[in-house]
Structures are given as C-alpha cells and as structure tokens.
Structure 1
Amino acid sequence: MVVPNDPNQNYLLAALLDAEFNRLSPYLELIPMPLGDVLYESGGKLQYVYFPTTSIVSLHYLLENGGSSEIAGVGNEGLVGISLFMGGDSTPSRAVVQTGGYGYRLKSQILMEEFNRAGPVLRLLLRYTQALITQMSQTAVCNRHHSVEQQLCRWLLLTLDRVPTNELTITQELIANMLGVRREGVTEAAGKLQTYGYIRYRRGHITVVDRGGLEESVCECYDVVKKEFARLLCDVRQRQGEPSALNTAVSLPQVRKLGVLVSRVGL
C-alpha cells in the first residue's frame, strides 16, 4: 500500500533504480500544490521541476489576445518542466495547478546534474518526453477534428486516470478554457453525458458514475495517449519490483475492438 506523501506515488520517481533514487531523494521537497497555483509563466526561467503525486498540472499556451487552451496535462505519471533538459531554461507554456493536491519539487540544477550523467535518468526522461509530445500532438488533433462531447470524455478519462476518486472539483468555465471552446459548448456536452447517465454534475463538481459509458463514447485519442505512455514507461515501479501501474487500467471497449488481450495493452 502506498504511504501518503510518498515520492513513489509519482511513477517517474518510482521507476528510478536505487542508485539514482538515493542520489535524488535527499533533495526532493514535498510541497502543497493548491488549485490555481501557477508553477511558472510563459517565458519564465525554470528554477524547479515538479513531480505531482496527488495533484494535476495543466500546461497552457497563451495567445496575444488573452485566450488560452490546454496543450497537455501532467499528473502522477510525469513531471513538469521538460524544457529544462530539452535545451532551454524557459518554456512558451504556462503551468497551473488544475487539481489541488501535493507533489515534490526538485531544484533544476540537481536534475541536470543527474541528467548529464547520461545514464538511466536521461533515458527515462527522454522516453517520458516522447510520451508527453504524443499527448500534445493528439490533443491538437482531437481539438480540431472531434466533437466537444468527445473532447470532454477524453479530458474526463485522462483526469480520472490521475486521481484516486471519481469526483472532480472543477467548473465548466475552467473546462472550456482548457479545451479552448465556448462555455456553452461544454454545458451542452456535459448535459448530454448527464442525460446518458455517465456523469452527475452540480455547480463546480463532476461525479463520474459510469466510466464504461465514457470509454464507449470517447474518440480514439484517449487510447492513443494511454498506449504510448504504457509502451514508453513500461518499467514504472521497477525499483519496487511491482507490476507497472500504467498497465492496470485499460479501455475495455477499445481492447475488444482490437482483439488484443487486456493484459497486454492499455495504460
């Protein structure tokens, strides 16, 4: 059983072997990450990287007219601040806490020292970055080609994968901002999902009552992202000798369509 506020609640930290984890763990700082907290602004210098455990961070791209939309979300499967080791000290996106909770932060210098050893940490972080780029790319495709209802299903499922509950504290306006659509579109889509019996919605709260229904309604983008994370991060919890947590939650309807055994796919 995972102990509350344990670094191993973050799958990347859990994937480290003993030698690497022991070098980094003295410098990991547990911090509260309240809803709405801005970890960094667009163009800001990255002093820390963040490993969420019970929180979720939304990466936003800001437009000159003040508009924005989410380009990716980061929860306990990853880290916030990949620009640091991809060749830059700043990033064009804004990182804001979407779901309040906790996480660990690490000084950028410490991570770069480990990254520059060109060992297991480098390889793990580059594989995570590839998975994150897949999420960004698929988000762009989804926002262009799929309905608001399908986008909402995708967003809800990805959020559920990162939290231990089926209740989400979030407003329709915030969801609309993240999807880059009008609030009225989210209201209509949420109303349909509630009529189908998939969710219950009251002001500021969404409760998912039928995850299977969401999985039946979501577009293929959700499964693409999950599979890529599972493929690239198949060694999570390797240090503890436990099965990969990223391989335990599978979209069953899509698995049946592909005719693949549940135990061999999914995130």
Structure 2
Amino acid sequence: MATVENHLIELLPRDDRRRLLALCEPIQLVLAEVLCEPGEPTRHVYFPIEGFISLVARTDSHPGLEVGMVGREGMLGAHLALDVVTAPLHALVQGPGAAWRMTTADFRRELARSSALRRSLNRYIYVLMSQLAASAACLRFHLIGPRLARWLLMSQDRAHSDSFRVTHEFLALMLGVRRVGITTAASALQRSGLIEYHRGDLTVLDRSGLESMACGCYAADRKAYAELLP
C-alpha cells in the first residue's frame, strides 16, 4: 500500500499522518468477516481503503438491521474518541478490500497526542450520529424502493465501482424487510434501466436516475459529510 487513500487519514497534517501510518498494518478485509460485536472490547480500529463495512444493530433474537456504513471516508472504532472501549454495534465486512488496521492501545495513545486527529474524529462521530438517525427515520417513513436505491448508491460510493456482488438475502437482512419486497423493488429498478442484476452480480447503469429514485436521506448523508469533513 504505497498510498493512503483513506480520507480521515489524508485530512491529518503530514507529521500526524506519518506517525499514525507507522503504527498501522495493511490488511485485507474479507467478505462477511465480523470485525466486532456489541458489548465486546475493541481490539483494533480499521481505516478502509477499498473495502467497506456494515454497522448492524441487533435486538433480541432478530438477525439485525443495518444502521450505518463505513468506507474509506471514515473508520471503524470512532467510539474510542469518546473514551469508550466496548463496541456499540455489530460490524460486518460488506465489501472486501484493503484497509489499515491499528491496535486500540496505539490508537488511543495517538488520539491523546494529536489534536488534529481528535478534531477529525469529533466531526466524524457527528456524521455517524446523523447517519444513524437518518437510518431510523428512513426505516419508519420511506418505501422499500427509495431505501434500496439509497443503499445501492451508498455501496457504490464505497465500492468505487459500478459493479459489486450482493444477494437478495443480504439486502433483505440489511434493510430489515422480506426477500419478496427486495425482489419486487430490484425488479422495478431493473425494468427502469437503472441497474442490471443477475445471480448476485449487480451493476449500476444509470447513476443519476438511481439518485432521483433514492430517498432524501442519501443526499442528506453526503451533505453532512461534505460540510464537516471536506
């Protein structure tokens, strides 16, 4: 990994960035790998470069619901900036790819040393809070079709590709709906020429059309990030 390509790290002043990267190790995020569980101690933080991670809330015996997503715009483990070691959510690799990994101990020491890192993390936590709140409102008030369009755009942004793999079963889990609802919504998007989907391989054909179909939560997410972490 010759280049950083994680936005939070790139925002740091040169000396802070160099010091942090010296404490990181390059890894590959593996599809469906569980990186942390709620209530468990956080052992590592992750700065995705190519891969991306689903943040899943679980309750009782239900399999869970995606409430956030982390790609190279952010990091997994931001709660450490609040001096809390236990993870709040189930974190699952949704898109495989390269990432930087750092031990919790090293990260906390660097956080205490770098005021620039603390400022960026405080702003990023605000963005995550907005994303979590938007996900709750989106689940309650928006239809499956616009929610699916939003999810596909968020995934495309972090996959950095028009094509990626995703199954109806996984989409149903992430959006908290029945598989038949996903099938109906995805078929409508495909008939409209916005996506192409076959046996788990999905391609976004019309990005602007998909944006027009998505609920307003997608644009709000992007606006919050652009304003706070330009």
Equivalence map 1:52-71=2 (5 Å): 52-71=48-67
Task: Quote the offset at 1:155 in angstroms.
Answer: 0.5
List gaps (5 residues or longer) in structure 2.
none
Equivalent pairs, count? 230
Residue from 14, 24, 32 that aligns with 2:10: 14
Asked if 1:195 corresponds to 2:191, the answer is: yes
Asked if 1:114 corresponds to 2:115, the answer is: no
Residue from 146, 152, 159 that aligns with 2:155: 159
Task: Quote the offset at 1:216 in angstroms.
Answer: 1.1
Contact 1:7 1:104 in 2 (8 A): no
Contact 2:16 2:114 in 1 (8 A): no
Contact 2:24 2:102 in 1 (8 A): yes
Normalized against structure 1, the TM-score is what? Answer: 0.84
Give, as a single letter, the amino acid of the residue that structure 2 aligns with 1:65: S
SS at match of 2:91: strand
Contact 1:7 1:14 in 2 (8 A): no
Question: CA RMSD of the aligned region, Å?
Answer: 1.1
List gaps (5 residues or longer) in structure 1.
235-267
Residues of 1 paired with 2:67 and 2:3: CA distance? Answer: 26
Normalized against structure 2, the TM-score is what? Answer: 0.97
Residues of 1 paired with 2:207 and 2:114: CA distance? Answer: 41
Residue from 203, 211, 218 that aligns with 2:214: 218
Asked if 1:76 corresponds to 2:76, the answer is: no
Residues of 2 paired with 1:79 and 1:92: CA distance? Answer: 14
Give, as a single letter, the amino acid of the residue that structure 2 aligns with 1:148: I
Alignment match, 1:145: 141
Report percent identity of matched pairs: 37
SS at match of 1:162: helix
Alignment match, 1:86: 82
Equivalence map 1:166-205=2 (5 Å): 166-205=162-201
**Cα 1:168–1:216, aligned 2, differ >3 Å: closer, same or farther?**
same
**Cα 1:62–1:7, aligned 2, differ >3 Å: closer, same or farther?**
farther
